[in-house]
Amino acid sequence: MTFVSCTYPTHAAAILDLFNDAIIHSTALYDYQPRPPESMVEWFRKKETSGFPVIGAEDEGGRLAGFATYGTFRMYEGYRFTVEHSIYVHKDFRGRGLGLTLMRRLIETAERQQLHTLVGVIDASNRASVALHEKLGFTHAGTLKEAGFKFDRWLDVSFYQLVLGAAG
């Protein structure tokens, strides 16, 4: 795998495909409708203007196998050292440790940017994501019962956090 900084021209369509697959087939995103291609323009603009990374992993043929990013946790100034992260791995590349590698790179980037806390907001039934976060030292910070609704059922959402040494 080659790790790259994702760009709109090169990666927008592949990232959109990952988002839409998660929307249609999983509870990783609580959206109901697939996102349109034009949504990626604003998504990338926000990442760029905020200095938030979009770290991609490409296979030998240049296909995006997965990506990791983070963004604003809450809009208030006092939360500026805390970010909420996301990680998506294409179904053809799951189970190979790519999520772990992407998360490690994301953590390193957060430390370089002198952030203090990474927050993962995870569907509580997503055992693979919970295990990944725990392996990386994230701790369970709480669960909101029946906070989401998708696929005709109520979903619990768990918060996992990793406190870094920087910022303040």
| Domain 2-163: CATH class, spelled out | alpha beta
Q: C-alpha distances in angstroms, 42 versus 32, 37, 48, 92?
A: 19, 10, 10, 27
Q: What is the pTM of this model?
A: 0.94
Confidence of residue 165 (pLDDT cuts 50, 70, 90): confident
Is the backbone of residue 45 left (phi > 0), alpha (psi -120 to 50) or beta? alpha
How far apart are the C-alpha atoms of 103 and 138, rounded to whole Å? 11
- Positive/negative CA dihedral, 90, 161, 101, 52: positive
* CB distance 86 to 70 below 8 Å: yes
Burial 104-127 (b: 16+ CB within 10 A, else e): eebbebbeebebbbbbbbbbbebe
What's residue 121's pLDDT? 97
pLDDT tens, 81-130?
999 999 999 999 999 999 999 999 999 999 999 999 999 999 999 999 99
